[in-house]
Structure 1
């Protein structure tokens, strides 16, 4: 089947990946109401169709934190992506570089930041979780800067890990019975291509950036248990000064939904915020990012750059998010699905889909430059 849309990649990934892996990237917290709202609220937005305007030339490029993007899209940090495809982070970073967009390396990646940076000329951004062992977080920032990363994405919405029922049912990061392990083993054997390409061909599965911290981890179960114990629930706004002392470059605070928190972030001196509910994977029953974005953009849009993630599944969605006040969109699940299906070529094709869809949406809304997108494009 030819892949025509982002959702096609999702369905193909569902077939390609073992259930534990697919549910890890696809699932959300609790009953997944916020996960569903992220896409449903975007779909419910109506656009103004405008005609008789010259859209023969449409500019989709923008600048984010001093970096030129050929498309207002950034590949978001995705934990354990190297379990979806062999060396997935490297493949995705190469595709992003080819498309002229940025890639964000996750703290909890399979490929290390050094491996990703060595494979590309455009250094990735680096995403950081603040851990109880602050010295290790300081070492991670130093490693990222040593390979040329200039933007730090600090994730703020993981004081505790959300209740992700799909992961619990699949035994990820918790106790699982002998029967459960047997069923999971049978499921993996049913996905022989994944076993060959990722389970065997994607080695080493050493959790790149954290190999020294988790030397005994040999599976996502081991790693998830360690990570859950390491997230620091004591982090406050005062800790941003500590981060600034160890990072020489722009800082992006990811996980903002409330305008008051957005103003606090601006007061703390960050250069950008990401309106994000962690893809619906943390606190359920919070607003979708499309619903939260306008108030955040109004509160701080003249002080910091406002980015957004959550629910973006098409170039049309990119246009809607930018009309709501975002400078650019981060996409996570879409590139994870694409890399699982067709590696680097899949991510390249995904970005081409988003570019083509955005170009069409711009043309039919009478827009020749993404910089002109705003509330007047919405009904």
Structure 2
């Protein structure tokens, strides 16, 4: 097995069909933002502390009322049965074993109730054209015992993912949007040109999603409400006023607006805007325990981890990947002289 979290991608590439590999790895447009995420994280420096008598760093925390053994959650990711026959259930079981929340995607290929039974879960919601279906999904997530509702706010339409367009990518018949059964089946239709996934989202998602709709969601649920896809501090303040409990600073892993800043570069201004009033997570580009230290030192309360866990899922070993990530985080904390996550937040960061 790979020695580092980043090592799972090349190992998975050897076993996946090229089109599936591109679906996971690709970004939108020229993939400028996709690459910017890594470049920005790589450029951040962290100044270690010394002689702190640190032996066993404590990585435990609480995110949105959910106790966590590590300061992270598994990011919401669609159609995981593309990577492994057990799909979401295998990755959710790994999250449960690691003691971290699993975020269920609206577009999961396993019904949300089965996933929520396998792991402490949050539910990720897309705003759909059918408001009754949106309400039903919120109700189902609540009844299934999900601990938070994460609303994705940066996908009015799907960014043009040129790898999928070139591949004419469509879902195989056995992989379905299990929470939308009998709805929006276009994701399975091989397009004459373009991406069937993009055609599916164009039909299903409502690009006119607004703050008023978010207020409707806030009234509909008592669950902690998190907005995923915030980059501008002005939007962070509006989210606070609208009753959101948390934010995910994210550019969708470089898969939406190609030209957006790296998520880590947007983090500080969002933190400055909302202070301690909200839980703030960082998504987009996390590939190591050292990356988590950088995010927390820049003010995040935790991170979402996405693509590396899909690569590990393709190999059938997501639990190993989370174990590797936990080890990397503890090693990074030891090397930075941090006994706990409070000490990590106090580290000085710079830019190479």
TM-score greater than 0.5 by the shorter chain: yes
Structure 1 length-normalised TM: 0.87
**Residue from 305, 309, 331 that aligns with 1:335:** 309
Asked if 1 retains the 8 angstrom alpha-carbon contact of 2:57 and 2:333, the reply is yes
- The CA RMSD measured in Å over matched residues stands at 1.8
Q: Secondary structure at the match of 2:291?
A: helix
**Residue from 352, 360, 363 that aligns with 2:334:** 363
The runs of 5 or more residues in structure 2 that have no matched partner are none
Deviates more, 1:11-20 or 1:310-319: 11-20
Q: 1:223 to 1:277 in 2, by over 3 A?
A: closer
Q: For 1:173-322, what aligned pairs fall within 5 Å after superposition?
A: 204-214=174-184, 218=188, 224-322=198-296
Deviations 1:259-313 (A, max 9, x none): 1111111111100000000000000111101101111111113211101101100
- TM superposition shift of 1:218: 4.3
Q: For 1:96-111, what aligned pairs fall within 5 Å after superposition?
A: 96-111=95-110
Q: Secondary structure at the match of 2:332?
A: helix
Q: Secondary structure at the match of 2:47?
A: coil
Q: What is the distance in 1 between the residues matched to 2:11 and 2:83? A: 12
Aligned residues: 346
- TM superposition shift of 1:60: 0.5
- TM superposition shift of 1:214: 3.5
Deviations 1:17-36 (A, max 9, x none): 11111111100011111100
Q: What is the distance in 1 between the residues matched to 2:287 and 2:126? A: 26
Q: What is the distance in 2 between the residues matched to 1:42 and 1:115? A: 35
Q: What is the distance in 2 between the residues matched to 1:16 and 1:205? A: 18
Asked if 2 retains the 8 angstrom alpha-carbon contact of 1:82 and 1:110, the reply is yes
Q: What is the distance in 2 between the residues matched to 1:238 and 1:358? A: 40
- TM superposition shift of 1:225: 2.3
Residue 9 of structure 2 is aligned to residue 10 of structure 1: yes
Runs of 4+ in 1 over 6 A off after TM superposition: none
Deviates more, 1:244-253 or 1:101-110: 244-253
Residue 22 of structure 2 is aligned to residue 23 of structure 1: yes
The runs of 5 or more residues in structure 1 that have no matched partner are 175-198
Q: What is the distance in 1 between the residues matched to 2:257 and 2:89? A: 30
